[in-house]
Amino acid sequence: MSLLSKSVHEIHNGLKKGEFSARELTQASIDRIQAVDQEVQAFLHLDEEGAVQRAEEIDKQIAAGKQLSMLTAIPMGIKDNICTKDLFTTCGSQILANYKAIYNATVIEKLDKVGANLIGKTNMDEFAMGSSTENSSFFPTKNPWDLKRVPGGSSGGSAAAVAAGEVCFALGSDTGGSIRQPASFCGVVGLKPTYGRVSRFGLVAFASSLDQIGPLTNTVDDAAVILEAIQGYDDRDNTSATIAPTSYRDSLTGDIKGLRVGVPKEMMGSGIDETVREQIKGALTQLEKMGAVIDEVSLPHSQYAVATYYLIAPAEASSNLARFDGVRYGVRREGIDLIDLYHETRSQGFGDEVKRRVMLGTYALSSGYYDAYYRKAQQARTLISQDFEAIFADYDVVIGPTAPTTAFALGEQIDDPLTMYINDVCTIPVNLAGLPAISLPCGMANGLPVGLQIIGKAFDEATILRVAHAYEQESASIGKPVIGGVSA
């Protein structure tokens, strides 16, 4: 196992014992990226010089006896829609190809404070709109398990970077499954916190009522460590929740005896690949052996979740993306007048999927159609939330597959938007309800990872982490992918 594929706790202990320096740890990340990223293409931009300088400063602090936090010197990747001061923040789009942020997102400030070391910005579907990272306007990212397959999206670069052993953890954003689905496809852990648990300040908005930042990691314990670091109220984000920070690692007891698990029949029926379903059933059997009580439940309105999402999210996107006009920042395409400048900038700067969603959203909000589409979608969203509330009156967690299939081939679905949208059928209801959920590996199907999704009550990340950690400790590891003849 390479250094970067070890848990954060293991690396922290090695650093504390002097088994390696922060400089050596950083160089291991840079070397791994240089060795494999030409094939994987997880990163859009690297900050090698800055990362080395930060590592050398950390080594000086260690030599001076400074106390190490759990994340001191840990190499990380950051999805390229999270602002990092003086570094490119392109959102995977040509319209922001030359944009460098003038401030750090709150999550970056928090990770800087505990000493995590930014290696670079990871690839993504343009403006987080996609489920395969093929919608990046720069290049598609490849799945480290099979370079002919997608890593999932829209946080595919972050998931692939962790799976390939290029960094110890990465941040992504999840609007309809964009952390959990790539985590499933790439065989890593992906955590979407409760809406409001983590500040969105500095996250370039796609759909403001759905977006949430979260970690992609090698282990559940690592996810708990990262969430502890980035959680908390932020007065710069008016959707930030005034909930006291939690020590999540304290909840990783391994004990789930008596835990009540609801398994929605809608997530285990038609549309779910049989090989995926069998792995989920195996995981449920394992949880039952560990003392959990498993029952079938129903989310009757989840059948409307994808349609609901593809009205609400595009509507919010059409508003949020109006700021990209070629005037204030980003790339400008000249026109004969102001309207023509807007037209040229947006037609050349936005990709097809972004244009598709902006047009869908603008239509849904337009005069005469608002009540028929957007208002109706908001009513359906309430019903979906109420379905979860009814289940959580009797159950501690809801469990099912993260994605209906394993990773599909590059190019297989890119020209079929409706099929692509169905990839998020198991994850979208969670975003609509604002709940926390985690995806972790639960086996392999046809040589590719399968993700188990554990959904919890609002602001009860502690329970889903406890269940995920307990399962992880009792299940067989899927190992790591081999790239260029070398295992991650």
Which residues participate in catalysis according to the annotation? 79, 154, 178
Q: What is the 3-state secondary structure (H, E, C) of the chain?
A: CCHHHCCHHHHHHHHHCCCCCHHHHHHHHHHHHHHHHHHHCCEEEECHHHHHHHHHHHHHHHHCCCCCCCCCCCEEEEECCECCECCECCCCCHHHCCCEECCCCHHHHHHHHCCCEEEEEECCCHHHCCCCCCCCCCCCCCECCECCECCCCCCHHHHHHHHCCCCCEEEEECCCCCCHHHHHHHCCEEEECCCCCECCCCECCCCCCCCCEEEEECCHHHHHHHHHHHECCCCCCCCCCCCCCCCHHHHCCCCCCCCEEEEEHHHCCCCCCHHHHHHHHHHHHHHHHCCCEEEEECCHHHHHHHHHHHHHHHHHHHHHHHHCCCCCCCCCCCCCCHHHHHHHHHHHHCCHHHHHHHHHHHHHHCCCCCHHHHHHHHHHHHHHHHHHHHHHCCCCEEEEECCCCCCCECCCCCCCHHHHHHHHCCCHHHHHHCCCEEEEEEEEECCEEEEEEEEECCCCHHHHHHHHHHHHHHCCCCCCCEECCEEC
